[in-house]
Structure formats: C-alpha cells, structure tokens
C-alpha cells in the first residue's frame, strides 16, 4: 500500500548541518556523525572543504540589517552578568556596529580552516538534529548533547576576546532554511539515494 504523502515527507525529511572549524580541529567529526547515525538519521551527503568569505556571507543573512542589529543586542546582553562595562571593553554600544563586528568575526572564524558539511535524512530531521546539537550557547547546552559534551565556550568570553563563539556545529532551524542551505552547499548530483539495512526496523510497520 502506498504511503500517505505526509508520512513520506516526515519520514524522509532532510536537513543541513556543518561541523565548524573548531569541531574539525577538536577531532570529533566521527563522534558527531555517529551520534546522528545512532539516533536513526541517515547521512546522504558529506564533504570537507574550507569555505570562502563569499559563501559564508551567503549562508548567514549578513545583508539583513535587523539580523545584524540582533547580533549586536546579543553581544550587549552577554555583559549583563559579568563585571565588565560593555562600552569600555568593546569601544561602543551601537548595536549595528557591534553586530557588524560580530558578523566579521564569524566570517573570519568560518574561513579559518576546513569544515564538514552534511545533509541528514530521517523522521523530522530538522528538529532531531537541533535536539541532538543542544543549545547554541555551549554553557547552556544539556549534558548528552553535542555542544553540552564537547564545548564549554561562553558568549561573554568570546565577545571580550572579540571572536566568534566556538560552538562546534551549525544546524538548520527550519525546513525552509534547511532547503536553502542544502541548495547553497550541495549540488543535486552530490546527494545520492540509498537504503540502510536498519530502515525496515526504523520505518516499517512490521519487520
């Protein structure tokens, strides 16, 4: 019996994630991929490369002034609970300027070394990958998540040092974002279709 289109869409949803330069240099690539596979997610495309500045600026909405300003707001908020004056440390409290500085630091970080980009497929893959990665701020990420187990970085420290936060991995937030990011980083001929022996156990009514 043919499966309902909604079931097909949920079961074979695809998402994008990228192990950042700090994750590559920490030598946890295999551990991260294994976590996705153990959860039942299927890697359907993987590649390692050094991103260009143009690619990074296309990946993040750096031309969106509101997005840049929100980066500035987050930077200022990271000083709320530390004994340091944001303006004294950063030289300004202008959200747009701070946001641009953060964006530039992010570009510098993401182009500093190789990354591992991948497309993962599986039941509600977007939400599953986000859950496995944990909170984007490592010090808030739960134990058992990728960021919670492999990173302890803090935005306060990163902002004082005027660098990007080292949180190991990027994961798409929505299905629309995932589709855009997959198209940005992978060509259609780079994503093969294949079956796993575990598919019957994961997805079939009877096995």
User: For the chain, what is the radius of gyration of the CA atoms?
Assistant: 19
User: Known catalytic residue: 166?
Assistant: no
The whole-chain average pLDDT of the chain stands at 91
| Residues 136/167, Cβ–Cβ less than 8 Å | yes
What class, spelled out in words, does domain 5-185 have in CATH? alpha beta
pLDDT digits (tens, 9 = 90+) for 120-167: 999 999 999 999 999 999 989 999 999 999 998 988 889 888 899 999
Stated pTM of the model? 0.89
Distances (CA, A) of 90 to 76, 95, 155, 161, 189: 9, 11, 13, 9, 45
41-64 mean pLDDT: 95
> Which residue out of 4, 59, 135, 170 is catalytically annotated?
170
Interatomic CA distance for residues 166 and 158, integer angstroms = 8
Interatomic CA distance for residues 95 and 47, integer angstroms = 36
Interatomic CA distance for residues 199 and 40, integer angstroms = 9
Q: Per-residue confidence at 85, pLDDT binned at 50, 70, 90?
A: confident
- Helix/strand/coil for 145: strand
Interatomic CA distance for residues 147 and 166, integer angstroms = 9
């Amino acid at each position: 019996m043919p499966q309902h289109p909604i079931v097909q869409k949920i079961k074979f949803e695809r998402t994008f994630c990228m192990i950042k330069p700090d994750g590559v240099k920490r030598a946890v690539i295999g551990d991260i991929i294994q976590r996705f596979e153990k959860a039942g997610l299927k890697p359907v495309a993987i590649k390692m490369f050094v991103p260009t500045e143009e690619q990074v600026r296309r990946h993040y909405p750096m031309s969106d002034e509101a997005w840049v300003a929100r980066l500035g707001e987050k930077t200022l908020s990271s000083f709320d609970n530390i004994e340091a004056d944001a303006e004294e440390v950063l030289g300004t409290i202008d959200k747009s300027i701070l946001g641009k500085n953060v964006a530039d630091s992010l570009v510098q970080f993401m182009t500093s070394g190789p990354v591992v980009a991948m497309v993962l497929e599986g039941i509600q893959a977007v939400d599953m990958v986000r859950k496995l990665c944990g909170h984007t701020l490592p010090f808030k990420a739960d134990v058992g998540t990728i960021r919670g187990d492999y990173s302890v970085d803090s935005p306060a420290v990163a902002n004082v040092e005027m660098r990007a936060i080292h949180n190991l991995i990027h994961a798409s937030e929505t299905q629309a974002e995932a589709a855009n990011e997959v198209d940005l980083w992978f060509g259609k001929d780079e994503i093969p279709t294949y079956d796993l022996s575990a598919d019957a156990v994961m997805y079939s009514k009877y096995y």
